[in-house]
Every structure is written in structure tokens, then in C-alpha cells.
A and B are shown apart, each in its own frame.
Chain A
Amino acid sequence: MNMGTIRQLLLLTDGCSNAGEDPAAMAAYALQCGITVNVIGIVDDSGRAEGLQEIEAIARSGGGESRIVRAQSLSETVVNVTRQAMTGTIYSIINQELREILNNDARVESLPPEKRSEIAEKVEEISEEAALKLLILTDISASMKKKLPAVKEALYDLSVTMQSRSGDSSFSLWTFPGKYSAAEERISWTSDAKKLAESFPQLASGGITPTGPAIRQALSSFLEMDEYDEKTI
């Protein structure tokens, strides 16, 4: 099976959006474009978490994973969520194929457990070898101030893991809110994951959190890339 490229958007935020389109709708749009949206909500030490429901809703409509964690365990969560979402993406492609071959509600769970184990073996291979394009969209609104060092550390960590994989990986970093638009590209597509953590942006001022528009803008980065690919072909 030719897997092509697994495309993911990882949203790191600490609260509710308060401006622009519904982020869950934008995540659903991303999924339609073939991009899985994962969300990690970072909570304070007090464990107070606002916008939990929104975080779950974004991930659900984006076909991805969601987690709520404290800043200390962000690193391992970012890596684990990225991995699980890759597995999830591969499974959803398999499910789609099964539906076409068998019938409308067929999915991996319709097969007996022994067959699933064979599939799992294959999935593991693919997720190790497939190309990954991962866009990280980080909330840098004022409330994230204390959490940004942890985000930086997590991105460094992610780069270490992805370099141990045998497939190609490329990364891009976007932040929101931006100075002149909802979101800004900080690092354009690069296979050098270390860049992610090296040039980490300053905090933005202002209290708006335009999560929805930010997702929409960041998606353009995937779409532009596709156009570019077509031209080169």
C-alpha cells in the first residue's frame, strides 16, 4: 500500500477561543482536506481547565486526539499524541478501503481479532516509514506566558523522536494571535526539526484567542504546499 504522506496539525492552547469562526468547524474542514487535527490543552498547576469541551470538540471533528495536561508532562504528551494520531490516520484509511471492498459499515472491528493483529503489524511498519508533515500551531496569548518554556522543550523533544524514525518528517511552526492576522507562520516547512525549538517566538500581547481563524490560516500552509507539488510534477 502506498501511504503517501501523513498530514497533521497539532494545536497547543490553554483555553477557550473568543474570536472568529468555531474552531471545531475549522477542524472539520481540515479533516476534509486530509489533515488530522490534534489538540493538547495545557492547564495550570491548579488543574483549572477552561474550555475542556472545546478542546475535545476540535479534536473530534478534526479526526484526531485530544489531551489535557499540565505543563510538566507536555513533552511526552506531544510525542505520544503525534504517534497515536499517525496510527489513527492509517487506520481511518484502512477503514475507508474496507468500506469500499466489503460494505458500507465495514471497519477493522468487523474483522476477527486475529486478522486485526496482522493489520496492526502492517500499520506499525507504515507509521515508522511513512512521510509525516506536522504543523504545530501554538497559542501565544498572554495566559500562555508561564507555559511557553514547556512548549519549547516539548518541541525539542518531538524533534528528537522524529529523527529516530526511519521515514521523512517535516515541520512547520505557526503561532496565534498574530500581529496583523489571526495566525503567523514562524518557521516554514523544514526537515530540520531542531529549528522548531531554536527560534522560539516571543509572547504576543492582547487577550484575544482566535483559534478558529488561526486553524483556517495555518491550513493554507498545507494547501500551498500541494499546489507547489503539482507545479513541480
Chain B
Amino acid sequence: MKKRYEAVPGEILYGKWTGHKWHVEREIGRGANGIVYLVRGAIGQAALKFADSSAVAAETNTLQSLEPVRGFSPGPFFIEADDVEKNGVIYPFYIMEYIDGLMLHTFMRSKKKEWSFIILLRLLDFLAPLHQSGKIMGDLKPENFIVSGSAHLIRAVDMGGITKLGRSVKEYTALYDRAAWHSGTREAEPSYDLFAATVLTVALVHKNEVQEVSGRIDRLVDIIDSSLVLRKAAPILKNALHGQYDCALTMKKELLVCLSGREALRKRKKQKKKLRKWPVLFIILTVVCVLFLLH
């Protein structure tokens, strides 16, 4: 593993290529492939991520490719990439928008369990434009998301797992990975993310139980069936676990209908329509018959 740059609060980092100065305020995240700091520069607050140069370059590409999506990015806006050079060693980093908010699991700690559905709905909103742009999230886990603003928008803060459709998923966490649950391949397709989003939702409510049964999909379904909270959306969650959805918005629509308890109502409507059709058919048939007889 290459050496990492460890910045300390109060330190000023000089960008080698742009000459920009970044004042380090505090560390905000640390993962397997990098460290993120909250910094302040001429443009105001921003997030700065140190990683090795291949990761910086790859994530730069990912972030930039996300931006054309309706002027809104599911992830942070990319600002610039640069290096810090210290004692002859180059430490690549990039600057992105600082997204203020609570990490998904921190957010849930202070909320009632029903909020897990709101999170799922918002996650589907997050996934839809991403999938439309030909990519999937891949490493879909609570630590990678932030709930921001009063509308509870969900945005990603770690884009390391984002993978082009059709390729093999770049990064994943076993607990949310459909292949680890023996429920499909690791090929990047929307249903991969929808599976992960579903496990994430179940885990938001029953974290320990999910961890215990990890890898056994039938036991995961049991958790959903026996959960007072999740039971309401059980059909939709199960569909997603069985790879029935290939579109986040379809899943969202069905989830909304299911949660409102309107399923029964819709069936009744269908019956009515059928009933209404019969008299019409009958009249047409009699008219045809009468015409035939008249001839």
C-alpha cells in the first residue's frame, strides 16, 4: 500500500498544478482507498480526498460523467484534481462539493423505523438518473450515502463502486451484494442496485438479524415477513430480491401504491371495468346478430 498523506486540522495544502490553497478544517471520512477532509479555499467549503493517482483519476472521471444529469448530480460536484508535493513525494487529491447532512445510518439512529421506507424511496430517486446515464452504484451501503436537506435527498459521497452497465461490479460489500446472497451475478445492471437497496432497507430496521443470516436469501425473506414494519411492503421487497425489477422508477411506483394500501382498491376497479365491458359486447353482438338475421 502506498503511503497516505495525513493532514492535520489547520494545515494549509498547496495544489501543485493550480496553485490553489486549501485550509484543512477536519477529517470527515476514511476508507480503504482514501481519506476525505473538509477544507476551505477561495471558493468556500469543499471536500478534499487523498487517494492514489489511479483512484483519483478514476473517481474524477466518474464524478464528471455524472454531472450532465439535469444540472443535478447524484454525487458531489467535481471541482478539480491536483497534487500536494512533500519531500519529493507526490500525493494526488481531488476537490469536490462538500455535501452537508447526516450519514444514512446516523440519520436512522434518531428516527423511527418507518423512515426506512422514505430512505428506500429516496434511494430509488437517487438510482433512477444514475441508471439512465448508463451506470450503477455498485457499492451500495449506508456509509456511502448522506441524507441532505429538509427534502431528505440522498446523495452519494463515495463513488468508488460506480460501474458502467454490463461490466463486472467494481467494488461491493458482501452484506449488500446479490452474488454473496447467491441470488445472481455481479454484472452491473439496475437489478443489482435494486437488490442492494432492498437489503439495505431491511438492514436499517433489522441490522443484527440480517447480519446473522447473511448469505441465506430464504432467511432474509423470513425477516421481511415477520417484521411489523417491513411487512407492509413485503411483496415489493421480495420482488426486488428476486430480480423482478430492472427499473428503479417502476419499483418506486409499485412501492408507493403498496404502502398506501391501495392494492385491493385497484383490483376492484379492474373488476368493474370488466363488468362494464360485458354489456357493451353484448349489445354489439345482438346488433350484429339482428343485422345478420335481417339480411
Distance A56 CA – B3 CA, assembled complex (angstroms)? 12
Distance A176 CA – B242 CA, assembled complex (angstroms)? 40
B32: nearest chain-A partner, CB-CB: A80
**Partner-binding segment picked from B99-107, B172-180, B197-205, B261-269:** B172-180
- Is there a chain B Cβ closer than 8 Å to A194's Cβ? no
Q: How many residues of B contact A (CB 8 A)?
A: 34
With a cutoff of 8 Å between Cβ atoms, the chain B residues found around residue A207 in the complex are none
- B54 A112 Cβ-Cβ under 8 A: no
- B172 A164 Cβ-Cβ under 8 A: no
**Partner-binding segment picked from A16-24, A27-35, A120-128, A198-206:** A120-128
**Partner-binding segment picked from B5-13, B56-64, B226-234, B247-255:** B56-64
A178 to chain B, nearest CB (A): 30
With a cutoff of 8 Å between Cβ atoms, the chain B residues found around residue A83 in the complex are 170-171
Distance A186 CA – B264 CA, assembled complex (angstroms)? 58
Query: Total A-B residue pairs with C-beta atoms closer than 8 Å?
Result: 85
With a cutoff of 8 Å between Cβ atoms, the chain B residues found around residue A166 in the complex are 167
Q: Given A128-B168, A163-B185, do A76 and B81 touch, yes or no (CB 8 Å)?
A: no
Distance A153 CA – B186 CA, assembled complex (angstroms)? 15
With a cutoff of 8 Å between Cβ atoms, the chain A residues found around residue B158 in the complex are none
**Partner-binding segment picked from A4-12, A154-162, A210-218:** A154-162
Interface centre among A80, A91, A164 (most CB of B within 10 A): A164
With a cutoff of 8 Å between Cβ atoms, the chain B residues found around residue A161 in the complex are 168-169, 179, 186
- A109 B57 Cβ-Cβ under 8 A: no
- B82 A113 Cβ-Cβ under 8 A: yes
- Is there a chain B Cβ closer than 8 Å to A52's Cβ? no
- A113 B56 Cβ-Cβ under 8 A: yes
- Is there a chain B Cβ closer than 8 Å to A65's Cβ? yes
B85 to chain A, nearest CB (A): 9
Q: Given A113-B17, A117-B81, A164-B187, do A91 and B179 touch, yes or no (CB 8 Å)?
A: no
With a cutoff of 8 Å between Cβ atoms, the chain A residues found around residue B167 in the complex are 128, 164-166
- A75 B1 Cβ-Cβ under 8 A: no
Distance A119 CA – B54 CA, assembled complex (angstroms)? 9
A161: nearest chain-B partner, CB-CB: B186
A225 to chain B, nearest CB (A): 24
Q: Given A109-B90, A113-B83, do A79 and B54 touch, yes or no (CB 8 Å)?
A: no
Interface string of B203-226 (1 = CB under 8 A from A): 000000000000100000000000
Interface residues of B (CB under 8 A from A): 1, 17, 32, 53-54, 56-58, 60-61, 64, 80-83, 90, 92, 94, 167-174, 177, 179-180, 185-188, 215
